[in-house]
Structure 1
Amino acid sequence: MEAQTSPTSSILRSRLAELTELQKHLATQPYSIVLHLKLAKSYKYLGYPDLAVGDAYKALLLIDEVLEELEYYEMALDAAKADITSFRAHEIASRRPDYHVSEHVECCCISLVDDDEAEAIDDVEAVTWAKTCWSKTAYDILVEGLIDCGCFRSAFDYNTRALKAFPYMPSFETYRETITLKLRTYFKSTGENFDTIDVLDYPDKGLVRRELYPWNEYEPDRFSPESIQFLNKEMTSVAPKLEVKVANLPLLSRKDEISSASSFPTQQVHHVKQLGVFAKQDIPPGEQILQEKSLLTAISRLHETYCDACVATLPASTDAEVDSKEGGTTIACEDCDEVFFCSTDCHDLAQAQYHSAICGVSLEQKVPANEASDYLYSLLLIRTLALAEAQEVHPLMLKEVRYIWGDYHDYLGINLHRTWNADSRGQLIDPFASVPHTLPFSFSNNILTPLNILEKMDVNIFEHSHRYDTWIFNTLYGKIRGTASAKQGLDFKPEIAAVHPMWCLTNHSCDPNVSWEWQGSIKFWTREKLVDWKGRDPKLQPGILEGEEVFSHYCDIRLPVKERREWAVGALGGDCMCTRCIWEEADGDREKGVAE
């Protein structure tokens, strides 16, 4: 309770209130450059540099609309004039002794007009404001946020543009020095010479906060009777012998806790409430217990090889099970002729559920090998947006993702009001306000690509900010990254991926009691042989008893504990604390102690 009433907590609550008030205005002022700048500042002061980048970028897009007379020119120009009029009114009102405006949401503009409030604002004035004050502010927030997020290539790019537009601004000179220093440090750590590195090879990915945002009203109460009832209805159709219930899972450990959290195998592990999948009856070893098909899929290349809907191998390929797919018929989309389906069922489902929204939109992109996995996640996000747009539903309300837990920080036992930190003046201790940041983030994957694809889908990204905003993309990534299945091609590059919502409800263990196979549909079998590891209870046998929880595995369980936990940090946001991981790390520590 003390944390809830502390000065820092009061600052947090005040800033969250300011943010939610600003968010309400998006519905009526979608083209306001100043509103997006205020939102960007508000996110920045709350410790969300990634979200600040998102709105600063939208402000720059609107500035381009005003300067270059693009698609939304008239609306953006009218909004710019309204912003200037509003600023004038605030400037005049500010001379009153009783006037107050929050330091965190005001426009940082200087007055470019006189004090005559009634004077009409012409197009030239609006262009001047957009080209100078607003542009400078947008670049300033954008570049600083990109640096904080570790997106140095993008930061370098936009800072170069800012220096070209504002060659004598000290802040952009300072950013250039900061970027150079950070890049020199980075490449020194990799044994490379920064001076010989091409700009395209600059690192452009970092980590941001992974949390259930305080203003997110779309996350369901996953433990409510209504949610459990809905999920069990869905589960019955794919796994009649299984049911969804509330489970107690070991709390994922954060990096700073590992040394104390796993020092010996009998140490106390904290647990957290979560959903799980349980057997409704005894199930013997080797029995198939789940078969599920999903439309939330992605294909990074070789589109003629896989069904666009379920990503089953198409009959034309030697790997296809021709006799299981309507005699081996491959069906192409009648309109774009760019995607193919393994059956009439998949074709019709795709057209009804997602493809109509994205038909003809090219998703082809050359991706470096080290970014192939991130690209697949990006394609899964795009498929989610297509599902939402075709069905005219908010992305976070889609049944494919709605009940998936995004491995948010509070799952790690983190209370935002206790963790969020600012000094006595309200200045953040660090760009993320001391809140852990474990969600992979890049300017391209989390902002540029989804907005670009939405525009190609003829979605107005300004009027639909309530459905397609950076925090929504991040939330979807949190859900997708911890649950997606993926397969590699013959060259070992990730090639296809999918999210199966019922399969996703099974919790991870490095000592699973089921095995799975994915070929179009995903299938579960009870394991005929359990994983062999030294610390296992010899009494445990294959098969699942009535009431026992079903545990799958999300990583290669043949890997040593260190590598398995490295995967868990990237996918789930914390180190796996299953019985096997705890025992094996402790066993390794004991062996080190003996050797020393």
Structure 2
Amino acid sequence: MEGPRIVSPAGARARPGPTNTVLLQRWVPSIYRSGTDPTISQPHPDVVGRILQSLDSYNELIVRQPYDPNAWIGRGRRMMMLNFPELAVGDAYKAKILEARASGNDKDIRVEVYKLLEPALQACHCQWDAAEILDESAMDFGPQWHEDVGRKVAKLRELLKRKEEAAIPLGGTPYELRDRIRDGGVLTVEYPWTVVHHLTRAPGLVKLINEELEGSEKEPTCYLHRSTLSKDSEEDMLGIFAAREVRAGERILTDRTATGVCSTPTSNSCSNCYARLPDMAIKTECCSESYCSTACLDLAMNTYHKAICGKDFAWLQEPAKGLTHNASPLRPLLMLRILAACVQSGVEKSPLDHPLIARLKPVANKNHLDVFTLTESIIIPIKILEQLGVDVFANRNFDTEILHSIWTRLANNKAGSFDPRLGFVDEITPHLPLFNHSCDPNVEWRRENGSTTVRFFAIKPVKKGEELFCSYLNVEGMPVEHRQEMLWPWFEGPCLCSRCEEEERSLGI
């Protein structure tokens, strides 16, 4: 017998969700168990079913009373029981904000916040954050609480010391060492209540992307279609194909992006792509921003600029200044561009419906571990959204599950590299994520020095209708076993390219 229909936490007013039976079938915990004693145990399926069924009432309570910290604490506890600690952290932190902003001084609520937030952070392997929260709680409460907290903090500091000892031999910069110690992680999963159309690329989206690829060209060079790597006709695996014959060395596509960031922009940089400004820079009418071209001006205006115009986000750029490698301060900068684009397109719509996000696929339900921290995953996105004018309590389109889902898509599809003028450049371009990998590519992509713009060139003759492949890594000279190992983080599975398949057959693998 089917259970009642459950409403998605991010869409409690929107539409009926899947049945409780379907939810249970789709439930995959995000907690990563490393072999040590888990912070929370995995519940029995019967218990999961009951918790999933109870979510409906908690979601509806939050809709009715979005500024009641108890509503968030109640749902956060259920998320913890479901082994979604990252969602529990988000709910607990929202309760913490609401209690702090309330006129009263409710010690009981703060106790419940700390009781939920600390173990949820530990379940996300965020030992640094958990220790900081415990230290904060010790200052808030009496001696008896302080004694119990002191023991927990001592254990966490000892664990962090061992993490540091293990990280030091790996080398790297001070920021890289800090991130190795402080970064937590959870498994990338599809939440059981996520609506189906947020899990696939619909025909309408494919049509929109093909219109982008056509642009103003009389004869488009490429188009999006189901990939030749797909073994299943129902599989959502797309690829870029040649729309005509292409000569070796010919430029196939210029990929200009609105969602690229850099660690150290210069004063004479384009506000969109960071290229050097020409003598006759393009000025906006609304503010002092300058652009290298009308193409960049139009792209910024049509994507994100209207949402951030007049707002000072220097606090977000400052921690990244001087970075020459990928590090945690760059993550929020990329989220700012993405969230601003979502806000500009309309806060009444789910960000997962935005074309720039809907085209991206995470590595979900494949035991893929993604970074999670209290600061970069929860605190800063909330601060960004509030500065953009979003009510993060009443507007459920920007709930923690949505923000985390956005990040998992960005993490699996972004491209980063050092630039002599800009420091480290990190970006999501509209079309680079749609090119599949091959260890024998027929296309190479190059980022313009001093810019986020990417161009694609054929490195061998390509026939009309042939799929276009680039290489995600420099695999020249690597044996197939080494290539598979290096490429595993992108796929959480073997590389499917023709070169790997042929070499594995010849080796009898």
Common topology (TM > 0.5): yes
- Taking a change above 3 Å as real, the CA distance of residues 347 and 23 of structure 1, as seen in their structure-2 partners, is same
| 1:515-573: CA deviation from partner (whole Å, max 9, x where unpaired) | 1123354222211xxxxxxxxxxxxxx32233322112233445857886676455555
Query: Which position in structure 2 is the counterpart of 1:78?
Result: none
Question: For 1:209-244, what per-residue CA distance to the aligned partner results, in whole angstroms no more than 9, with x for missing partners?
Answer: 212222223744646544433333333227813222
Deviation at 1:379, TM superposition (A): 1.4
Does residue 544 of structure 1 match 2:462? yes
Give the equivalent residue in structure 2 for 1:397.
353
Shift of residue 493 of structure 1?
Answer: 4.6
1:57 CA drift (Å): 0.7
> For the Cα contact (< 8 Å) 1:219–1:402, is it kept in 2?
no
Partner deviation per Cα, 1:296-318 (whole Å, 9 max, x = no partner): 22232224243222x15123xxx
The aligned amino acid for 1:41 is: R
Report the CA distance between 1:8 and its aligned residue: 4.3
Corresponding residue number in structure 1 for 2:18: none
Deviations 1:499-529 (A, max 9, x none): 22233211122322101123354222211xx
Superimposed CA distance per residue, residues 74-98 of structure 1 (whole angstroms, 9 cap, x where no aligned partner): xxxxxxxxxxxxxxxxxxxxxxxxx
Letter in 2 for 1:314: R
Match of 1:506 among 411, 435, 444: 435
- Whole-angstrom CA distance in 2 between matches of 1:441 and 1:137: 22
**Relative to structure 1, is the Cα distance of residues 45 and 525 closer, same or farther in structure 2, using a 3 angstrom cutoff?**
same
Partner Cα distance (2:184, 2:203) in 1: 38
- The one-character-per-residue Cα deviations of 1:322-362 (angstroms, maximum 9, x if unpaired) are 5xxxxx4224556653x431124423442343122223322
Quickly say closer, same or farther: Cα 1:544–1:306, change in 2 above 3 A.
same
Pair 277,557 (structure 1): closer, same or farther in 2 beyond 3 Å: same
In structure 2, the residue matched to 1:168 is 144
Q: How does 1:96-495 map to 2 (within 5 A)?
A: 127=104, 130-131=106-107, 133-166=108-141, 167-169=143-145, 172-190=149-167, 203-217=181-195, 219-220=197-198, 222=200, 224-237=202-215, 240-247=220-227, 249=229, 273-309=236-272, 311-315=273-277, 328-332=279-283, 337=288, 339-359=289-309, 360-362=311-313, 363-367=316-320, 369=323, 372-392=326-346, 393-409=349-365, 412=366, 436-464=367-395, 466-490=396-420, 493-494=423-424
Asked if 1:497 corresponds to 2:477, the answer is no
8 Å Cα contact 1:219-1:396 kept in structure 2: no
Provide the C-alpha distance between the structure 2 equivalents of 1:585 and 1:172, rounded to a whole number of angstroms.
54
Structure 2 CA distance for aligned equivalents of residues 473 and 35 of structure 1:
20
Distance of 2:163 and 2:383 partners within structure 1: 30
Query: 2: CA distance between counterparts of 1:377 and 1:240?
Result: 34
Residues 35-65 of structure 1: per-residue CA shift (max 9 Å, x gap)? 1101211111111111111111111101101
Q: Residues 481, 560 of structure 1: CA spacing in aligned structure 2 closer, same or farther, 3 A cutoff?
A: farther
Of all paired residues, the percent bearing the same amino acid is 25
User: What residue in structure 1 maps to residue 6 of structure 2?
Assistant: none
Q: Any gaps of 5 or more consecutive residues in structure 1?
A: 70-126, 252-268, 316-321, 323-327, 413-435, 528-541, 591-596
**Is the contact between residue 439 and residue 570 of structure 1 (CA under 8 Å) also seen in structure 2?**
no
Secondary structure of 1:282's partner? coil
Question: What is the distance in 2 between the residues matched to 1:209 and 1:490?
Answer: 35
The number of aligned residues is: 453
Taking a change above 3 Å as real, the CA distance of residues 331 and 228 of structure 1, as seen in their structure-2 partners, is closer
Distance 2:91 2:482 in 1: 37
Deviation at 1:387, TM superposition (A): 1.0
Q: Provide the secondary structure at the position in 2 that maps to 1:459.
A: coil
The code of the aligned residue for 1:65 comes to R
2 CA distance for matches of 1:178 and 1:46? 26
Q: CA RMSD in A?
A: 3.8
Q: Which residue of structure 1 aligns with residue 69 of structure 2? A: 33
CA distance in 1, matches of 2:330, 2:283: 22
Residue 204 of structure 1 and its aligned partner are, at CA, apart by 1.4
